[in-house]
């Protein structure tokens, strides 16, 4: 397959996967009773607790495994990389690739570019623009649910502007910790004319007193019948004291 054609194609494939943030299965109608708080109260508590956790979480490390599968035009390809990530507050992320295999085009022009996009998104100026807050989203309470035995508030979120870093969908907020535990969404803005739909599912896990990413699944469909699936597995978390 023509390498130049794949290089051009990978640019819009990257755009379809940049809004990496996501959740799980939709909530049905059988909610667990009526929630005791309004959407505004849930969001206010979430923001307050997030600020507390952000002050406490100064440094951590983890191991990630990225796998990207593409089927369709111009040809089917797969790629994988394993990466160590070190986060240092307030917004510095350092990545080191441990191993890589599969399509060089997908590795270099999609997976490695995703790492660069995440580093940029962690910067304070960009982070504010993408934050899950009333400055960027409207919130409506859909009901309650249970995940792993824990009661969750389920909120429908709508972006206030068409931004590639924002999304629309549902979030699950733990009723005890007021942390987001699950997101099911799609990008607020279609990242490319050639992309017809992108679905993102992002799950979190509790590590110590913090809710950190556990798994991300992103699926994108193209106008000419192609299909891309990205899976990111987050493992081996180590929480550390600030090094400053």
Tell me if 36 sits within 8 A of 144, measured CB to CB. no
pLDDT at 94: 95
Average of per-residue pLDDT values in the chain: 84
pLDDT at 73: 81
For 179-205, give the DSSP string: -EEEEEEEESS-S-TTEEEEEEEEEEE
The closest of 154, 205, 174, 157 to 25, measured between CA atoms, is: 154
Segment 95-108, tens digit of pLDDT: 999 999 999 999 99
Weakest mean pLDDT among 8-17, 50-59, 138-147: 8-17
pLDDT at 121: 82
| Residue ranges of domains in the chain | 3-240
State the Cα–Cα distance between residues 23 and 176, nearest whole angstrom. 19
CA torsion 104-91-20-103 (nearest 10°) is 10
Percentage of residues in the chain with pLDDT exceeding 70? Answer: 81
pLDDT at 242: 58
Contacts of 194 (CB under 8 A, 6+ apart): 12, 222, 223, 224
Tell me the pairing of strands 180-187 and 195-207: antiparallel
Confidence of residue 38 (pLDDT cuts 50, 70, 90): very high
pLDDT at 163: 85
The closest of 177, 222, 219, 215 to 196, measured between CA atoms, is: 222
The closest of 86, 89, 47 to 64, measured between CA atoms, is: 86
The closest of 239, 243, 241, 233 to 65, measured between CA atoms, is: 233
Weakest mean pLDDT among 37-51, 113-127, 167-181: 113-127
């Amino acid at each position: 397959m023509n390498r130049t054609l794949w290089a051009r194609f990978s640019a819009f494939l990257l755009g379809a996967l940049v809004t990496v943030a996501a959740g799980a299965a939709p909530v049905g109608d059988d909610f667990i009773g009526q929630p005791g708080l309004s959407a505004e109260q849930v969001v206010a508590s979430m923001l307050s607790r997030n600020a507390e956790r952000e002050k406490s979480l100064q440094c951590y490390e983890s191991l990630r495994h990225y796998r990207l599968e593409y089927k369709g035009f111009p040809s089917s390809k797969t790629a994988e990389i394993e990466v160590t990530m070190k986060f240092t507050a307030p917004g510095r992320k350092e990545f080191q690739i441990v191993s890589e295999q599969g399509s060089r085009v997908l590795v270099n022009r999609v997976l490695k570019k995703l790492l660069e996009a995440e580093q940029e998104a962690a910067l304070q100026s960009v982070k504010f623009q993408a934050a899950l807050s009333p400055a960027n989203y409207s919130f409506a309470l859909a009901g309650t649910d249970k995940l792993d035995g824990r009661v969750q508030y389920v909120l429908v979120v709508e972006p206030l502007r068409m931004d590639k870093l924002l999304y629309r969908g549902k979030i699950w907020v733990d009723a005890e910790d007021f942390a987001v535990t699950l997101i099911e969404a799609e990008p607020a803005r279609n990242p490319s004319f050639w992309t017809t739909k992108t679905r993102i599912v992002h799950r979190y896990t509790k590590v110590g007193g913090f809710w950190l990413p556990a798994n991300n699944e992103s699926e994108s469909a193209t106008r000419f019948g192609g299909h891309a699936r990205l899976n990111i597995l987050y493992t081996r978390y180590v929480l550390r004291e600030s090094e400053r």
